[in-house]
Amino acid sequence: MAHDDAPDLSERLSNLAHLSSAVGHHVINAYSAIVSNAEILRLTAGTETPADPVVAAELIIRTAVEASSVARRLIDYTRPVTQIGEATVALDRLIAEVIEDRQADGRTRYAWTAHPGQVPPVRGHAVQLRCMLDHLLRNAEEAMAGSGGTISLSTAMDDRGWIVLEVGDTGPGMPPERVVRAVEPFFTTKPGHMGVGLSIANGIWRRHRGTLALKSRPGDGTLVRLCVDPNETNTIGLR
């Protein structure tokens, strides 16, 4: 039994590491905004009552910097689990394998369309990228739960020469205010869900030097667009 549980434990530990890193980046960005605004407050404060706004601003700055330092240590703590390595991964073959596996074991009730265009391989970690795709597909399936629909996957090169991986669904879509927060850790509108899937996927893709964007509106489904410059994959490292 212990042997059977090992892959699941490994995946959970990996997910926890990516989530911790995503939370760290989120907190750092938030505190950066606090510091910037507090600096403006300090520089524009009047000189007649320095003990009030200036001292308060400096306290905000110091607290924010200390908090971001803790977050950076949290990211460093996850470094051994989130390192990418030197192997290469063919994304077009990966999506074909993922669809084949999910159809073979009966894990999905939805229709699939795949357009795996030929793209150059990227340096990366195949298990982590597979985990990323699993989270994106699980989100797509949850979006269409109870209504059915189609999930689409494709790879291609864009006009810049970047590799593009897209995952789309024909679910109900999202309003703009939800799209903005969709990759935020723990943000969810679904009861009983933690809201970590997109955040984990985004964290994994960031470590592969990629960017993630969402396109969605009510009634039109959701498209997750993952882009990466193949030249950047020659210098992979943690951000």
pTM: 0.65
Q: Are 205 and 18 in contact (CB under 8 A)?
A: no
Parts of the chain with a pLDDT under 50: 1-7, 51, 235-239
Same domain, 100 and 71: no
Same domain, 125 and 228: yes
Same domain, 145 and 230: yes
Same domain, 104 and 204: yes
| Domain limits for position 195 | 88-235
pLDDT at 83: 61
Residues contacting 233, CB < 8 A, separation 6+: 122, 123, 124, 208, 209
**Which of the listed residues 32, 67, 82 is the one where a domain comes to its end?**
82
Same domain, 148 and 56: no
Cβ atoms within 10 Å, residue 200: 25
Cβ atoms within 10 Å, residue 227: 16
pLDDT at 236: 42
Same domain, 124 and 57: no
Same domain, 161 and 99: yes
CATH of the domain at 190: 3.30.565.10
**Which of the listed residues 48, 82, 116 is the one where a domain comes to its end?**
82
- Tell me: the pLDDT tens digits for 157-202? 999 999 999 999 999 899 998 888 888 877 777 766 667 788 889 8
